[in-house]
Amino acid sequence: MAQETYSPGLEGVIATITEISYLDVDHGQILVRGYDLIELARHLSYVPVAYLVIHGHLPNDEELAAFDQRLREDAVVPQEVYQLFQLMPKTTAVMDAQRTAISFLASYEDPAMLRTPTPENDIAMGTRLLARMPVITANAYRVLHDQPVVEPDPSLGFSENFLYMITGQKPDETARRIFDLTLTCYIEHEMPNSTFAARVIASTLSDLYGAVTGATASLKGPLHGGANEAVAHMLLDILEQGGADVAERYILDRLARKERIMGFGHRVYMKKYDPRAALMKDFIPELAKRHPQGEELYRIYQIVEETMHREKGLFPNADYPVGLIYYLLGIPIDLDTPIFLVARTAGLVAHVAEQHAHNRLFRPRVRYEGPRDLHPTQVTVH
């Protein structure tokens, strides 16, 4: 029997061997296919980085053109997807609508491909799904809020098209560039709960759509991807209660009540700054200037960060700057976590393909502490 080890929450446990990414905390690097994610985000846009994550190497001009074309051509979804959203109660969470649509899209795949979990099939279906994720995400929100569907515009790039379908207007270059940078920061991050969920599901040789559906359910949780929405609500709550002048007291009161401040802390970074948060925070002032509440919200943002570091020794994770950036870009808060999932779809596709390439069924054991030696007495069925 393998040596019995138990670590709550699998903290510190190596779950798999991968060539996709690694959080090299000691060197402050997020390694993605051998590159530093922050360097990739500074120099490249989301689409070539998505190609790198999925295919394992940066694309040459021909590969990039073909991949970009594939993402534009496959973006159109069956009209039945919009009818599905229309069937949903208006109170449906966008994340739940997104999760349902991902499952629904599986039924439009060739059943033979779904039943054949090869890396090649995962990448073919995964690229198609990535192309469609912005369309189902933006329009899930629109239909649930009785706004007209905005179909993808094939003349626009991935990030520009995504923002266009969310806001109904084509974004300016500053908004496009910053939004694209956040998507790249979110693209892949080693073995978070949602990626682990996807690999656990894929390890039964179940299909990519099922794996991404499971990852979606995981990412919704406020301890995980749901934190970016909670950050936006918190900053606006402080603004409403008096703004920067009350920010420190607001945090101290919540900490005194042993509450978690969303957007801070991280299982792996522990008491270190998430390199993604360090990069993205530098783009907030530029956006704050363009928004009527921007300057005050940015002051609140800085006071909350200072207070959390002084009181708890904790730094922001990626969700903290994103919560403010998306609000300043005019993105509805309910879309924050769904957008995170769209960006992370490239990473999920890569992990599902890698799991199917070198599969070993995940089946951990337990340490049993329940009762023993009980026997059923004569149970009379009434």
Please, what's the b/e burial string for 107-124 (b: 16 or more CB within 10 A of its CB; e: otherwise)? eebeeebbeebebebbbb
Contact flag: residue 262 with ligand SDX (CB under 6 A): yes
Extract the tokens encoding 40. 């990739």
List the beta bridge partners of residue 24: 29
Site string for ligand SDX, 110-149 (x = CB under 6 A): ----------------------------------------
Size of the site for ligand SDX (CB under 6 A): 20
The helix-helix angle for 158-167 and 61-73 (nearest 10°) equals: 20
Cβ atoms of residues 165 and 139 within 8 Å: yes
Selected catalytic residue, list 74, 96, 153, 224: 224
Which of these segments, 129-137, 176-184, 223-231, 293-301, binds ligand SDX (CB under 6 A)?
223-231
Nearer to ligand SDX, 113 or 268 (CB): 268
3-state secondary structure (DSSP) of residue 360: coil
Contact flag: residue 318 with ligand SDX (CB under 6 A): yes
The correct pick among 115, 145, 260, 358 for binding ligand SDX (CB under 6 A) is 260
Active site residue 319: yes
Nearer to ligand SDX, 15 or 114 (CB): 15
- Integer Cα distance of 285 and 283 in angstroms: 6
The correct pick among 266, 281, 351, 356 for binding ligand SDX (CB under 6 A) is 266
Binding to ligand SDX, residues 32-61 (CB under 6 A):
none
Contact flag: residue 183 with ligand SDX (CB under 6 A): no
Residues 6+ apart with CB under 8 A from 294: 287, 288, 328
Extract the tokens encoding 158. 């991935």
Which of these segments, 86-94, 120-128, 157-165, 314-322, binds ligand SDX (CB under 6 A)?
314-322
Cβ atoms of residues 263 and 225 within 8 Å: no
Nearer to ligand SDX, 95 or 124 (CB): 95
Longest Cα–Cα distance in the chain: 76
The correct pick among 264, 283, 315, 326 for binding ligand SDX (CB under 6 A) is 264
DSSP of 5-70:
---GGGTT------SSEEEEGGGTEEEETTEEHHHHHHHS-HHHHHHHHHHSS---HHHHHHHHHH
Contact flag: residue 225 with ligand SDX (CB under 6 A): yes
Contact flag: residue 199 with ligand SDX (CB under 6 A): no
Instruction: Name the residue with the smallest CB distance to ligand SDX.
Output: 265
- Integer Cα distance of 215 and 344 in angstroms: 10
Active site residue 375: no
**Residue 18: exposed, middle, or buried by beta-carbon count in 10 A (0-12, 13-18, 19+)?**
middle
Contact flag: residue 337 with ligand SDX (CB under 6 A): no
Selected catalytic residue, list 266, 274, 351, 356: 266
What's the chain's Rg over C-alpha atoms? 22
Selected catalytic residue, list 180, 207, 274, 319: 319
Active site residue 27: no
Q: Closest approach of Cβ 217 to ligand SDX, in Å?
A: 14
As annotated, the active-site residues are: 224, 266, 319
Site residues (vs ligand SDX, CB under 6 A): 9, 189, 192, 223-225, 227, 260-267, 312, 314, 317-319
